Amino acid sequence: MMMTPCMQGAERPNILWFVVDDMSAHFSSYGETTINTPNVDRLVKEGMKFTRAQVTAPVCSTCRSAMITGMYQTTIGAHHHRSGRGELKIHLPEGVEPVPVLFQKGGYYTCIGSGLPDLDARGLPFGLPKGKKAAKRAKLAGNPPESRLGKTDYNFEWDPAMYDSHDWAGRGKDQPFFMQVQLPGGKLRGGDSRNARALAERAKAEFGEATDPQKVTLPPYYPRDPVLLEDWAAYLDAVKLTDKHVGKVLARLEAEWLLENTLIIFMTDHGISHARGKQFLYDEGSRIPFVVRGPGIVPGTVREDMIQQIDMAPLSLAAAGLPVPEVMQGRDVLAKDYKAREAVYAARDRCDETVERIRSVRTDKFLYIRNFYPERPHLQPNAYKDGKDIVRVLRAAHEAGTLPSVSEELLFSPKRQAEELYEYVNDRWQVTNLAANPDYREVLESHRAKLDQWMTETKDAGPESEAMYDSDMVDYRKKGGAEIERNIALMKQWAKEGK
């Protein structure tokens, strides 16, 4: 039966989030010139683009734990990647509830999936094999491969019943929905050259051509090695496939007469997975695209104030006419009385078996980073990252002494500076550390104080206890392999040495 405009449902808007894995702002509307992304560009044209959006954590589970609660992950104790998965569990503080629970209480139908009835998050028919490694990763992330539910990956205990379904099709008559469209994004390219080439073949089949590795632009600290170029080209193909999926969801909303009464937010959960991207607090890891389209949004609006992914929660609740909990730390950036932030904050903690602690504050011009373990190298041993061909190539070039000096300094110095300060508006890739420059002493001290104040006021939960680390490592040990065992032993050794 053909749907008519009068069948759009209740007056309250539907809320739809696009949440994409492992992807920076490499879209045409954000300045990418190697590829075209017409569907995300459409959202930008018809909506509001934020040019200075950041995540509070540059890795999946911690970012998503913050996103789904509207809270800093460091406040709710969910700041260590894939934590609470062992015998010891993490529970949300009193008064903090996941956003889907709040929407359910408000009468919304809550769902999380691909946004398409016949295709999975990869844009492929349901049921196609994902491979053993992908299946294991999916299970660890809280989205078993046999399920049509989308990725969750929360680091705290939560009730699966907070999601009614994988799709909005099952909602009641005139019932508004809250939908999370979860897409693998940069993960589509895999971690080795074989997967990169397979994705290039898919791109050729779907777009008529794949991205030419020789045409990509790399950050200055990555050498133009054939493996790195091929990987970046595959990543851009993943951006195009993500954009295509977005277009299909928009087309479905239009066909069902839902588009104009749906508030859409498009964002990614952190930047590109690379040696200085994902897991780190530089722009490559923490800067994301953030676009809002829907009722009340003036088309073509560009916002240059600083926001964070935790703002999605209050923004969405307010748009639905639901109360925003007072405890929530995110802000409704669309509120009439909203005042732009003077600073945004981020944190990196343990990722997989690799122990780390980094904090940052970003103001209008400067990015200040504090390394709590400066005696450790930037690229600590990590089975996940070290398993990628791009990191293997970088490590091999380092051992051979063939890396450019900027790569050696930023990626392979045996120690780091305890403090980093970048004038990021003029230093796009955060290459020049100004922390030791006397001309910037006042700036350094003011940012140091801001970070201290934020950590105190938000009750930063700090390092992970040894008991919790050991509990969570049980799952990692189940993967097997001497590498993880060596890395765990090294983490414990360095901790004893005070590194």
pLDDT of 128 above 90: no
Quote the pLDDT of residue 4.
31
Please report which confidence band the pLDDT of residue 131 belongs to, taking 50, 70 and 90 as the band edges.
Answer: low
Share of residues in the chain with pLDDT > 90 (%): 91
Please report which confidence band the pLDDT of residue 5 belongs to, taking 50, 70 and 90 as the band edges.
Answer: very low
CA–CA gap between residue 122 and residue 116 (Å, rounded) = 11
User: What letter represents residue 372's amino acid?
Assistant: F
- Where do runs of H (alpha helix) occur along 6-164? 38-46, 60-67, 99-105, 132-140
Could you report the per-residue pLDDT of 297-344, keeping only the tens digit for each?
A: 999 999 999 999 999 999 999 999 999 999 999 999 999 999 999 999
Please report which confidence band the pLDDT of residue 6 belongs to, taking 50, 70 and 90 as the band edges.
Answer: very low
Quote the pLDDT of residue 137.
55
Using alpha carbons, select from 54, 22, 36 the residue that is nearest to residue 309: 54
184, containing H or E segment: none
Quote the pLDDT of residue 136.
56
Please report which confidence band the pLDDT of residue 144 belongs to, taking 50, 70 and 90 as the band edges.
Answer: low
Q: Which CATH class for the 10-343 domain?
A: alpha beta
Quote the pLDDT of residue 7.
34
Tell me if 354 sits within 8 A of 289, measured CB to CB.
no
CA–CA gap between residue 282 and residue 213 (Å, rounded) = 24
CA–CA gap between residue 103 and residue 178 (Å, rounded) = 7
Tell me if 22 sits within 8 A of 185, measured CB to CB.
yes
DSSP assignment of 128-162: ----HHHHHHHHHTT--TT--S-----SS---GGG
Query: At 249, phi and psi to the nearest 5?
Result: -65, -40
DSSP assignment of 275-298: TTSTTSSSHHHHEEEEEEESTTPP
Tell me if 259 sits within 8 A of 250, measured CB to CB.
yes
Q: Where are the domains of the chain?
A: 10-343, 358-496
pLDDT of 182 above 70: yes
CA–CA gap between residue 282 and residue 298 (Å, rounded) = 31
pLDDT of 63 above 90: yes
Quote the pLDDT of residue 479.
76
Q: How many CB atoms lie within 10 A of CB 168?
A: 26
DSSP assignment of 259-273: GGGEEEEEEESSS--
Quote the pLDDT of residue 421.
98
pLDDT of 471 above 90: yes
| Average pLDDT over every residue of 59-86 | 98
| Average pLDDT over every residue of 20-43 | 98
Could you report the per-residue pLDDT of 275-304, keeping only the tens digit for each?
A: 999 999 999 999 999 999 999 999 999 999
